[in-house]
Amino acid sequence: MADGEIKYCPRCNAPFSCKVEDIHECQCNNISLSEAEREHIAGAYVDCLCLQCLLAIKEGLKSGAD
């Protein structure tokens, strides 16, 4: 985990590097979220999530879970 602020995912508590100051290099830039997915995440969590949780939520919403 180089560069960026170390955060802990509020969903799974895993550490990850948040690069909000360089969003093009941030791990969350690797996933495309719909407006509904963004609204779901914003309503459920107050801070950034790790990439694994973003992917899990995306899959869960597709299948009707999470």
pTM of the full predicted structure?
0.79
Q: What's the token pair of residue 25?
A: 């290099």
Q: Reduced to 3 states, what is the DSSP secondary structure of residue 6?
A: strand
Q: How far apart are CA 13 and CA 33, in angstroms?
A: 21
Q: How far apart are CA 35 and CA 42, in angstroms?
A: 10
Show pLDDT as tens, one digit a residue, over the chain (66 residues): 457 789 999 999 999 999 888 888 888 888 998 998 999 999 999 999 999 999 999 888 776 666
Sequence spans of domains, the chain: 5-63
From residue 39, alpha-carbon distances to 4, 17, 32, 42 in Å are 25, 23, 13, 5
In the chain, at which residue ranges do the beta strands (DSSP E only) sit? 5-8, 15-18
